[in-house]
Structure 1
Amino acid sequence: MRPVPVPGAAGDEQARLKEIIIYICQKCQDHPRFGAVKLNKILFFADFVAYARRGKSITGETYFKLPFGPAPKRLIPAVEELKGAGAVIEQERPVFARIQKRLIPLREPDLSLFDGFEISLVDEVIEALKDKDAEAVSELSHTFIGWQLVREREEIPYETVFIRDPNDIVITEQRRRRAEEICKRHGLQ
């Protein structure tokens, strides 16, 4: 089935996020442990590993800290648009004492928005997390220093992917002043 553009996606920064969501859901549709939490974590790990390897993420998405781990800021609006466009449906099913929510793709993803490296990396992350359940991938994401360094609901900077030990962070006077300038410019004081 040929991809049908999602309304508002053409030229939209969110188009890549929507299409990679469809791709991930398609690749994981036979994985019994795949649900909403795992989708979050696959996106997170793929974006941050891409940033570490190439200096840019796959989706350009902003991630913030939630209790169960990092989450893409625009995931819910993207999923709602995909559902509204008939590109995916949401299925709920009981898994032990919880309800697993999973997206079922109704069309092929538009992979022309991605290069081979990006798709290969997403496949690598899917394979690495394939046998883990939601709890295990959440716990794994909690080991990421970027998640540990920020407060709940704060943005996780991509640059934190390069921090191996939080004790190695040195806040010089120059860095402090630069941070204050950025905060002031963005009204974050």
Structure 2
Amino acid sequence: MPHILTQLREQNGYTQEELAEAIGVSRQHIAKVERGEADLKLAQASQCAKLFDISVDNLSSGEMPAKSTLAKKVEEKAEATTSTEERDPTPQLSVDPERVQKFKEVLLYILGKVGAKPNVGKTVLYKLLYFSDFDFYEKFEEQLIGATYKKIARGPAPVEFAELVGQMKEEDELQEIRGKYYDKEQIKFIPLRKPNLRLLKAHEVGMIDDVLQRLSDKTATDISEYSHKDVPWKVHEMGEVIDYESVFYRDSEFSVRDEDDEL
């Protein structure tokens, strides 16, 4: 029988790499745990339990709960996909073809500006993209990239990122390197070409620059904890796609709207 972590991970749609990123370990360590060759530390087990909505005791004992919230979600998802005429299907990648190139240019722009900073690995990059997208939507009520962000343990994560980066690596537009930042595994991206700024409007670049100025010096832990205080992350369940409209319920700590914007 598969390891309980394998069952939970696959039921919730996580790859080993995504789960590793969510709890701050290497993919190789997750693989060893699932093969029974290693164990999770208590803090890591607690993060997994929270992510998959089960108890640490269930995770430690290897016993799936009889009827966890996760199981209910899986059943509801399965029921939803069998009735496509009555309701919308499970959300798919939402960046339409016209926006794919823009996503690439925004990513290359961010990497060109702050990607060389030692703290800017994939986790920090996820949050810089998230705040650029959601701050822009709150301020201008239109989408910058319009990527799909999922709530995971370390904060919002863009669903389309892995596929997009895969394309960009094949096209020699960026390079992925792995290393460590202090004692943490880190994935960094090196841009291999300059962004095409003709595809970005001045107010779009301005919003990105504002986000980079405010947040690009934060560590992965700090920016993740910061994102957990933002209303769009707080009001969604683990694994859910974050609704852009929730940005309009932000408090003063996160809101980027001016009083004039509301007149």
Relative to the length of structure 2, the TM-score reads 0.57
Partner of residue 116 from structure 2, selected from 30, 41, 47: 30
Structure 1 gap segments, 5+ residues each: 1-10, 166-189
Partner of residue 69 from structure 1, selected from 137, 146, 155: 155
CA distance in structure 1 between the partners assigned to 2:143 and 2:119 by the alignment: 25
Instruction: Describe the SS at the equivalent of 1:91.
Output: strand
Alpha-carbon RMSD across the aligned residues, in angstroms, is 1.3
Contact 2:118 2:181 in 1 (8 A): no
Q: How does 1:138-177 map to 2 (within 5 A)?
A: 138-164=224-250
Counterpart of 1:62 in structure 2: which amino acid?
Answer: T
CA distance in structure 2 between the partners assigned to 1:21 and 1:108 by the alignment: 10
In structure 2, the residue matched to 1:123 is 209
Counterpart of 1:43 in structure 2: which amino acid?
Answer: L
Contact 2:151 2:241 in 1 (8 A): yes
2:182 maps to 1:105: no
- In structure 2, the CA distance between the partners of 1:29 and 1:150, relative to structure 1 (3 Å rule), is closer
In structure 1, the residue matched to 2:179 is 93
2:219 maps to 1:133: yes
Contact 2:124 2:216 in 1 (8 A): no
Q: How does 1:12-31 map to 2 (within 5 A)?
A: 12-31=98-117
Partner of residue 53 from structure 1, selected from 133, 139, 154: 139
CA distance in structure 2 between the partners assigned to 1:64 and 1:94 by the alignment: 25
Greater radius of gyration (CA):
2
- Runs of 4+ that moved beyond 2 A: none
1:62 Cα offset (Å) = 1.5
Counterpart of 1:141 in structure 2: which amino acid?
Answer: S
1:32 Cα offset (Å) = 1.5
Relative to the length of structure 1, the TM-score reads 0.78
CA distance in structure 1 between the partners assigned to 2:250 and 2:122 by the alignment: 28
Instruction: Describe the SS at the equivalent of 2:99.
Output: coil
Contact 2:128 2:216 in 1 (8 A): no
1:34 Cα offset (Å) = 0.6
1:164 Cα offset (Å) = 3.6
Counterpart of 2:121 in structure 1: which amino acid?
Answer: G
Partner of residue 130 from structure 2, selected from 41, 44, 49: 44
Partner of residue 169 from structure 2, selected from 69, 72, 83: 83
Instruction: Describe the SS at the equivalent of 1:58.
Output: coil
- 1:137-163 superposed Cα distances (whole Å, 9 cap, x missing partner): 100110011111111121111111111
Partner of residue 114 from structure 1, selected from 189, 196, 200: 200
Structure 2 gap segments, 5+ residues each: 1-96, 252-263
1:13 Cα offset (Å) = 2.6
Q: Which has the higher contact order (CA 8 A, sep 6+)?
A: 1
Instruction: Describe the SS at the equivalent of 1:104.
Output: strand
1:100 Cα offset (Å) = 1.4
Counterpart of 2:194 in structure 1: which amino acid?
Answer: E
